[in-house]
Amino acid sequence: MKSIILWSPNTVNAAESKKIRLVMSLRKAGIQDTAVLSAIERVPREHFIPQAMQDQAYEDIAVPIGLGQTISQPFVVAKMTEALELNDRHKALEIGTGTGYQACVLSKIVRRVYTIERHKPLHSHAEENFKQLGLRNITTLCGDGMRGWPKIHGIEQAPFDRIIVTAAAREKPPAKLIEQLKVGGIMVAPVGESGKQMLKRYKKESEDTYSISDIMPVRFVPLLPDIARDDTREEMVVA
């Protein structure tokens, strides 16, 4: 497996000026939640991106991180985060950790983040990122996100105030995720086949009903079951 360093201190000064321009562009593009903009400003996106692509860390584009996965473009991250209507009392579940960027953004706003990744190398890398950044309110798991957060050592974390899914379900989010959403809670998830995906917002009105609204067209990798078994056969660009 090839290993490439993601981040270097030499990139910090240049990154800061680019980050400010990015936050200003997100505001102009319609992101109004100041907590979301502040979180994006405080998270070092270059830390989650391969060194060969450091100059694109604060461009408004998705960046590949290996194993067929990407970090979403900042506008999509901001839009999804804003649609969750977060506050510092919330407990959030993320499906699809990647290298940890979205979870890091969430951690700056909510009380606790639980995040699931099906690719073992990405899960390990995200954990290392969180450790290096001193983030203590994120709990990670390598597992099947379609099944939600499991009971561990007899402890049940569900229901969650908010759920964010960073991979696209074909027709609707898995039933288990709806089940693990608290009544009154919000889930944001892309739905649809490739080329026809829509980012949707689900609000759980009761144990049996929820409302749905469309946010915008998006492009995400498909939401898949189980822990990935072929990671060692594909070169990673993350460490």
Q: Which residues are catalytic?
A: 72
- Is there a contact between 138 and 166 (Cβ–Cβ < 8 Å)? no
Query: Measured between alpha carbons, how far is 13 from 187 in angstroms, rounded to an integer?
Result: 36
Token couple for 177: 């995720």
Angle at 159 between CA 226 and CA 71, to 5 degrees: 50
C-beta of residue 201 within 8 angstroms of C-beta of residue 212: yes
182 Cβ neighbours under 8 A, 6+ residues apart? 159, 160, 161, 204
In angstroms, the CA 239 to CA 164 distance is 25
